[in-house]
Amino acid sequence: MMNILLEGAPKGGFFSDPLNMILISAAMFVIYFFMLRPNKKKADEAKKLMEEMQKGDKIVTLGGIHGKVFKINESTIDIEIAKNTVMTVEKSGISTEASAALNKPVEEKK
C-alpha cells in the first residue's frame, strides 16, 4: 500500500517545471510594468514639482483649497488664500496634478 502512495509523489519541485518559471516571470513582468513603474514615475514627478515650486506659484491642496505660495519651509508651505490670509499646509497635502495644470502656460489658439 505504501509503494502505491509513494509512486504518485511528484519528481521535482514547483520551480523545476519550465512552464511554471515562464508563468512566474510573466507575472513579475506584469507587476513591474503595470503597477510599480507608473507609481514610481508619478512619485518622481511630484517630487520634481515640489523642488521647482517657488513663491507666487498657484497651487491646489488635496482638500481643494486654491492659493498662491507665500513661503516655502522644509516640510510645510505657507499659502496665501486671500488678501492678508496665510495658511500653512504640509507639502504632502498639495495636489500635484491640479497644481501643475494651474501653472501650465496657456497655449495660443490658432
DSSP run (H or E) holding 6 = helix 2-7
What share of the chain has pLDDT > 90, as a percent? 27
Q: In the structure grid, which three cell numbers stand for residue 79, read together?
A: 499659502
Is there a single domain that holds both residue 48 and residue 13? Answer: yes
Is there a single domain that holds both residue 2 and residue 46? Answer: yes
Q: How many domains does the chain divide into?
A: 2
Is there a single domain that holds both residue 44 and residue 65? Answer: no
52 three-state secondary structure: helix
Is there a single domain that holds both residue 58 and residue 99? Answer: yes
CATH number, residue 79: 2.30.30
Q: Could you tell me where the beta strands, DSSP code E, fall in 1-110?
A: 58-60, 66-72, 76-82, 85-90
Each of the 110 residues of the chain gets a pLDDT tens digit; together they read 555 555 555 566 666 777 888 898 999 998 888 888 888 988 888 888 888 888 988 999 989 999 999 999 988 999 999 999 999 999 888 888 888 787 777 555 55
Rounded to two decimals, what is the model's pTM? 0.60
- Give the pLDDT confidence score for residue 53 in this predicted structure: 86
Phi, psi of 16 (to 5 degrees): -80, -20
List the domain range (segments joined by +) for residue 41.
1-52
